[in-house]
Structure 1
Amino acid sequence: MAENKRFAKASWAIMAQLLKVDNLEEALSGSLEIIVKTLNSEAGAIWLLDPKTDRLSPVFHIGPADISNISVENGLGIEGIVTQTGKSVFVEDAATDTRFDGTVFDDNDLVTKTMICVPLNNTHDIIGCVQIVNKLDGTLYDEEEMQLCERMASLAAITIDEKGLTVDLEEKKEILATLRNITKEFQTGDTTLKVLKGINLDVYKNEFIVVLGESGCGKSTMMNIVGGMDFLTTGELTIEGKDFSHPSDDELTKFRRDYVGFIFQSYNLMPNLTALENVEFIAELAQNPMSSKEALAKVNMSQRENNYPGQMSGGQQQRVSIARAIVKRPKLILADEPTAALDYTTSIEVLHTIEDIVKTQGTTVMMITHNVEIAKMADRVVKVRNGKIASIKKNMHPLHAEDLIW
């Protein structure tokens, strides 16, 4: 009886999510979160079929594995079989199931043991599938749990059909940085504090990725490891295919100098230098910088090049900080709460500048923020919880900075 009530409550919650038609993507990802939580599962994904390529792509996924860059041929693997046949599938033991090829989650550091996979079937076509992986208590899924997934998938497919969410698979994005099983521990006296507990993430070239999470969840530590500001305890970090897990001092210096730009919440400008001099100071350290005047022009701060930080507003200082980050022509910019100290209007100006950097310079921007509204303009949204990746969502239609409201 209690189980029936739990499933009924989950069904109502899913219906409520899918009624949020003003933001279908949030409604779908929220529905997946409800299913994964209700079924006490390790991971889950919603796959949509691109009819032009006849391949499936995971538009939302939850769990420790990053499968963002994977696509599956329709008809192959569990996901393709379910989408092609329109029939739900139980996998009781992935190790012995001949339909399971292990290419999705297992290639991304999550061992699949059990699974439910159900079709997204609207009134006309099968448009994808919903996949739930591994009960945390090690038990098998049952028929009632399958029915709950089918109910959610049916509602989701109809809503997708009515509201017109489609998937258009691009070519695989080129990977800039790969994190595999990253852990980070701090020793305080006799106590070991585990901050990161097995991070798996790919960061792509020329993407805007937003990282969300509660204070203390490990998101800043993760970003600092990517940026060479901190060191992993165990695991593997690769940058453009090169192992960067334990760099030498010379490698680290060169990496931070030439490869990465930083934008901080507190601007970190030198108060005794003008805007131009602040940018020039960094440019002089770089191997192949753009001109400092050009960097200031890109953030619309040419008219303030002779002003000191104390003579500028917070937003103007932050734009100088961005100019200082881009002057090195970095491949990666790490931004830690860059709008937290700014008002709404100034925040939008700064976000517009960051958006323009991604579009016009081909730079990857990885931003930490507590402002969930900013996540709507990202290519992907990564949620960190308790030292692990909790979910990754691909924004099908990212907003422009000027469209954000909070």
Structure 2
Amino acid sequence: MSPETLHQFKTIGEIQSCIARADTLGQALREGLAIFVRECKAEAAIIWRADNAEVPTLRPMFWVGPEDLTSRSHVLGEGAPGRVFATQKSERRLAFAADPDPATQADFETIDIKSMACVPASGKTSNLGCLQVINKTDGGYFTDDDVDVLEIMAMSAAIALEDNEKFAAPWTPSRAIIEARGITREFQNGDDVTRVLKGVNLNVYDGELLVVLGESGCGKSTFLNIIGGMDRATSGSFTFEGKEMSQTTQAELTEYRRKNIGFIFQSYNLMPNLTALQNLRLIAELVDDPMDCEDALRLVGLGDRMGSYPSQLSGGQQQRVSIARALVKRPKLIFADEPTAALDYTTSIDVLSALEEVVHAGTTLVMVTHNEEITRMADRVVRFRNGYTHEVTVNRHPVHATDLVW
């Protein structure tokens, strides 16, 4: 048996073991695709999932790569995913250099397609979507053996878990209120330059709960500070509701933060000599149309603690005061950086339940966390790695905060 064939069988075995352990199609395909990306050195890989409409539309459910594909979709026959779903036949365009396809290239802003394959994911009784891979990180091309592995993975996952996924309602994005393109951030220390962000492309959509994960130092908090107007990118740009923010003055950034952004941090940053209600009123005086401070405290379950000072409140209660303080501004976005890191499990669930109510009331929430379990309540999950957005997952089964366990 040749080394190439042995590697192929090993990869298939790993993927099938991962599918056997999975509870949902999403989990099976995400973990299986991660193995494929690693073993076959793919630059980008996308799971396209069909909705349940009479004429299905394919939307991205999970992807690895440098672009934010959240708002992309394909109807039957449109683009490689639409063609593959319509015909249920794989497309193997393994070397584009001699035969470019402008229609496929137009689907991507930042990826120059050199090699591509797209395969159907079909169960026993229904067609669920397709898988697409683009380019190899070593500059080579996908092989027929690579695509064979992809086909086996897609078929195995779809057949094994078809019934679990058949009726899952897809989340679809509304308008993008933040659009970030090519965001970099460098820090100079003498002659040394540390590149924390290396070219982030990401949208934030109105009304979503977006969870951002990644190891320490990967750039997630730095990115939050940039789109929150507390730091400036070294290069790249971001817009807020269509307005370019990268070249604004410091006074304009202050106004942007004051009118549109609420912040929640791991440290509560409450004024110790003011009651919970007074802490909120201090912020309310800074904005034109504040929410009623007492209503904000009731919303987070502190209607009976308005007159308490921070020292008289538990850590979870102080964090809920900080959530109410952010709400008083009626912000369009709330940025929460590790809001439960210093809290025990029961208190964390109380705080996450309060944040869940904030999102249900119509506010957009972007939360940075190290806690993998919290991703289960998100609409989307973005994983940062080495200064880039590495993976994005659209969650088809978001749960309530009270369902989280760790």
Flag whether TM exceeds 0.5 (same fold).
Answer: yes
Alignment partner, residue 14 of structure 1: 15
Alignment partner, residue 370 of structure 2: 370
Identity %: 47
CA contact (8 A) 1:45 1:131 kept: yes
Alignment partner, residue 57 of structure 1: 59
Alignment partner, residue 222 of structure 1: 223
Cα distance in 2 between the residues matched to 1:73 and 1:99: 18
Alignment partner, residue 389 of structure 2: 389
Please state whether the residue corresponding to 2:23 is helix, strand or coil: helix
Q: Structure 1's 254 and 354: CA in aligned 2 closer, same or farther, altered over 3 A?
A: same
Within 5 Å, give how 1:63-142 maps onto structure 2: 63-91=65-93, 92-93=95-96, 96-98=99-101, 100-104=103-107, 106-107=108-109, 109-142=110-143
Cα distance in 2 between the residues matched to 1:150 and 1:389: 26
Cα distance in 1 between the residues matched to 2:156 and 2:199: 34
Please state whether the residue corresponding to 1:286 is helix, strand or coil: coil
The offset of 1:167, in angstroms, is 5.5
Please state whether the residue corresponding to 2:331 is helix, strand or coil: coil
Cα distance in 2 between the residues matched to 1:215 and 1:224: 15
Cα shift readout 1:45-83 (whole Å, capped 9, x = no counterpart): 111122414211111111111101111111111111111
Cα shift readout 1:241-277 (whole Å, capped 9, x = no counterpart): 1111121122111111110000010111111111111
Cα distance in 1 between the residues matched to 2:121 and 2:91: 13
Within 5 Å, give how 1:159-178 maps onto structure 2: 159-166=160-167, 168=169, 172-178=173-179
Q: TM-score, normalised by structure 1?
A: 0.96
Question: 161-170 or 263-272, which moves further after superposition?
Answer: 161-170
The offset of 1:113, in angstroms, is 1.9
The offset of 1:9, in angstroms, is 2.4
Q: In structure 2, what residue type is equivalent to 1:389?
A: T
Alignment partner, residue 346 of structure 2: 345
Question: 170-179 or 305-314, which moves further after superposition?
Answer: 170-179
Please report the RMSD computed on the Cα atoms of aligned residues, expressed in angstroms: 1.6
Q: In structure 2, what residue type is equivalent to 1:356?
A: E
Question: 226-235 or 241-250, which moves further after superposition?
Answer: 241-250
Q: In structure 1, what residue type is equivalent to 2:303?
A: S
Cα distance in 1 between the residues matched to 2:385 and 2:219: 8
The offset of 1:170, in angstroms, is 6.0
The offset of 1:26, in angstroms, is 2.3
CA contact (8 A) 2:378 2:395 kept: yes
Alignment partner, residue 199 of structure 2: 198
Alignment partner, residue 299 of structure 1: 300
Cα distance in 1 between the residues matched to 2:167 and 2:231: 40
Cα distance in 2 between the residues matched to 1:72 and 1:267: 44
Q: Structure 1's 167 and 62: CA in aligned 2 closer, same or farther, altered over 3 A?
A: farther
Gap runs ≥5 in structure 2 = none
Cα distance in 2 between the residues matched to 1:218 and 1:170: 27
Within 5 Å, give how 1:173-322 maps onto structure 2: 173-322=174-323
Alignment partner, residue 326 of structure 1: 327
Gap runs ≥5 in structure 1 = none
Please state whether the residue corresponding to 1:245 is helix, strand or coil: coil
CA contact (8 A) 2:171 2:394 kept: no
Cα shift readout 1:176-210 (whole Å, capped 9, x = no counterpart): 10111111111110111110011010100000000
Does residue 403 (structure 1) correspond to residue 406 (structure 2)? The answer is no
Question: How many residues align structurally?
Answer: 403
